[in-house]
């Protein structure tokens, strides 16, 4: 298996923002990656939406490994494509 990069995750999230007509920058309504790396814990990634006053609303209920997160994003992209939002 090849290594998944942060850039690959960002491309998928950018696509989700574009397909759902959300801001492309870190402003209210933008969907972003929340990466938290507490030591050796592999569960580091979450999907969030930027809210007012710089806060975030979590769109995923738990943190995922980079592979799990990549698969999760692929599922969203596939669903959007099937609905004709690409």
Strand 45-50: give its sheet, edge to edge: 31-35, 45-50, 56-58
Q: Residue 86 pLDDT > 70, yes or no?
A: no
Query: 2-17 pLDDT, tens per residue?
Result: 899 999 999 999 999 9
User: What confidence score (pLDDT) does residue 1 get?
Assistant: 60
Structure tokens that stand for 27 in this block: 């402003």
Query: 33-79 pLDDT, tens per residue?
Result: 999 988 888 999 999 999 998 899 999 999 999 999 999 999 999 99
From residue 53, alpha-carbon distances to 2, 36, 57, 60, 68 in Å are 38, 20, 12, 21, 30
User: What confidence score (pLDDT) does residue 15 get?
Assistant: 96
Q: Is 58 helix (H, G, I), strand (E, B) or coil?
A: strand
């Amino acid at each position: 298996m090849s290594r998944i990069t942060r850039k690959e995750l960002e491309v998928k999230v950018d696509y989700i923002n574009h397909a759902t007509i959300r801001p492309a920058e870190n402003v209210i309504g933008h969907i972003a990656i929340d990466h938290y790396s507490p030591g050796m814990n592999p569960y580091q990634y979450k999907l969030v939406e930027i809210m007012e006053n710089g806060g975030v609303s979590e769109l995923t209920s738990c943190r995922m490994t980079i592979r799990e997160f990549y698969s999760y994003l692929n599922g969203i992209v596939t669903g959007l494509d099937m609905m004709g939002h690409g």
